[in-house]
Amino acid sequence: MIDNNSILQKLDGLEARYEEVSTLITDPSVIADQSRYVKLTKEYKDLGDIMDARRRYINCLTTIKEAKDIITNENDAEMKEMAREELSENEALQPALEEEIKLLLVPKDPEDAKNVQMEIRGGAGGDEAALFAGDLFNMYKRYCDKKDWKLSITSVSEGTAGGFKEIDFAVEGDNVYGTLKYESGVHRVQRVPATETQGRMHTSAATVAVLPEADKFEVNINEGDIKWDTFRSSGAGGQNVNKVESGVRLRYPWKNPNTGEVEEILIECTETRDQPKNKERALSRLYTYIYDHEHQKYVDDIASRRKTLVSTGDRSAKIRTYNYPQGRVTDHRIGFTTHDLQGFMNGEIQDMIDALTVAENAEKLKETEL
């Protein structure tokens, strides 16, 4: 059992910070600094959750102490019985509250609250890999629908037999990156493809990348260096060619801060029939792409200090196998298996995400001194 005083001392220190932040976010000079204001409002919300747990924890400890005093000093049998019930109830509650507080005190990934850009690429396996990439997209779309998240396709290259050679899409909602970040990596499928005429089993793969969407103040881009082109487009998934050039393509010379080399970034967007909206979305993807590449060093540094690969974002790592003949999905990072493959492909992936989150939190708790 964790020593109560150490928890309360830690929480008392955070209470002072909570009061400080609550004052800062009303300061006009802070509000004018968008970057600082966004960070402080997020910190204020997180500290508010901790302060709520602190209040419930203090109430629990106080009730335990008072109940013990009554049992020791009170002569009234009915009062003693009520005190015993309260003591039993709160002694059971105490470790649960301590566990909740421990998790709240685990350092949070500052990216978790962000929206995401996702990419799915069909890998080895030709037509079957494209079909599987399509299955993965439909799985994520159904999951997003269940979460009431907004999913918007930004660009797509369809497979010759169906599915997608590659598809890029944005997801907006609450805590999207914190939920979907575990999906980055290589997804492998074992099944008899719809294109297979002799009933032979095939193994193919698709790569998923989940990128936290960057805010403009987090990335330094000279928008004057961007070269824009427009082209006729059917829009994502459409068949009819527009009479106007609504598709947009941008090229940007980016200097990699890690290597010093300049590389050209090429981004296309055909999300809508509205050119200004496509331009806005392409620009957002540019910021996200650059932020992701500059942020990857931070992710790699964290991964190097951890034994697990739960959320490193290593997109070359094989993370999951979908075995259709056996009706199972196995995540290789934590050894978690579900035998409801059909439900999983229909978007029922929350249990898997929860298991990955628990494993990640366990790793973080090892690093916390509480």
Compute the distance between CA of residue 76 and CA of residue 82 in angstroms, rounded to an integer: 10
Compute the distance between CA of residue 42 and CA of residue 243 in angstroms, rounded to an integer: 45
On whether residue 150 sits in a domain, the answer given is: yes
On whether residue 295 sits in a domain, the answer given is: yes
Q: How far, CA to CA in Å, does 52 sit from each of 24, 59, 106, 128, 339? A: 20, 11, 16, 51, 39
CB atoms within 10 A of CB 58: 14
Pairing between strand 185-191 and 318-323? parallel
Same domain for 342 and 284: yes
**The pLDDT of residue 2:** 41
249, pLDDT greater than 70: yes
On whether residue 44 sits in a domain, the answer given is: yes
On whether residue 73 sits in a domain, the answer given is: yes
How much of the chain, in percent, has pLDDT values that exceed 90?
49
Give the three-class secondary structure for 135: helix
| Run of H or E including 14 | helix 4-24
**The pLDDT of residue 242:** 47
Same domain for 52 and 11: yes
Which range (101-110, 231-240, 284-293, 343-352) has the least confidence?
A: 231-240
End residue of a domain, out of 105, 129, 154: 105
Which token pair is 310? 């739960």
Residue 105 identity: L
Same domain for 191 and 69: no
Same domain for 152 and 96: no
**pLDDT, greater one: 225 or 292:** 225
**The pLDDT of residue 205:** 94
**The pLDDT of residue 239:** 47
**The pLDDT of residue 364:** 76
**The pLDDT of residue 241:** 45
Residue holding tokens 């010759």?
160
pTM here is 0.68
Which range (60-64, 168-172, 212-216, 366-370) has the least confidence?
A: 366-370
Residue 208, sorted as left (phi over 0), alpha (psi -120 to 50) or beta, turns out to be: beta
Same domain for 333 and 187: yes
**The pLDDT of residue 1:** 38
**pLDDT, greater one: 196 or 148:** 148
Per-residue pLDDT tens digits for 316-329: 789 999 999 999 99
Residue 351, sorted as left (phi over 0), alpha (psi -120 to 50) or beta, turns out to be: alpha
Compute the distance between CA of residue 251 and CA of residue 318 in angstroms, rounded to an integer: 31
**The pLDDT of residue 297:** 61
Same domain for 159 and 63: no
CATH of the domain at 286: 3.30.70.1660
Per-residue pLDDT tens digits for 57-90: 999 999 999 999 999 998 888 999 999 999 999 9
Among residues 137, 210, 207, 189, the alpha carbon closest in space to that of 326 is found at 189
Same domain for 135 and 73: no
Which range (21-25, 97-101, 231-235) has the least confidence?
A: 231-235
Please state, rounded to an integer, the average pLDDT across all residues of the chain. 85
Residue range 101-110: average pLDDT?
Answer: 81
Compute the distance between CA of residue 229 and CA of residue 246 in angstroms, rounded to an integer: 10
Per-residue pLDDT tens digits for 203-243: 999 999 998 887 766 678 888 899 999 887 654 444 444 45
Which token pair is 8? 């309360």
**358: confidence class by pLDDT, cuts 50, 70, 90:** confident
On whether residue 328 sits in a domain, the answer given is: yes
Residue 321 identity: T
On whether residue 110 sits in a domain, the answer given is: no
191, pLDDT greater than 80: yes
End residue of a domain, out of 105, 140, 162: 105
**The pLDDT of residue 345:** 98
200, 192 contact by CB (below 8 A): yes
Same domain for 210 and 271: yes
Sign of CA dihedral 40, 43, 49, 52: negative
Compute the distance between CA of residue 323 and CA of residue 201 in angstroms, rounded to an integer: 10
Which token pair is 228? 């824009």
Among residues 210, 204, 211, 237, the alpha carbon closest in space to that of 133 is found at 204
Same domain for 269 and 135: yes
Domain containing 14 equals 4-105
143, pLDDT greater than 90: yes
**The pLDDT of residue 119:** 92
How much of the chain, in percent, has pLDDT values that exceed 70?
87
Compute the distance between CA of residue 5 and CA of residue 18 in angstroms, rounded to an integer: 20
Give the three-class secondary structure for 164: strand
Residue range 243-251: average pLDDT?
Answer: 80
On whether residue 124 sits in a domain, the answer given is: yes
End residue of a domain, out of 105, 135, 155: 105
Same domain for 241 and 136: yes
Same domain for 42 and 160: no
Domain count, the chain: 2
Same domain for 320 and 188: yes
On whether residue 111 sits in a domain, the answer given is: no
Among residues 136, 238, 134, 250, the alpha carbon closest in space to that of 183 is found at 136
**The pLDDT of residue 298:** 58
**The pLDDT of residue 234:** 58
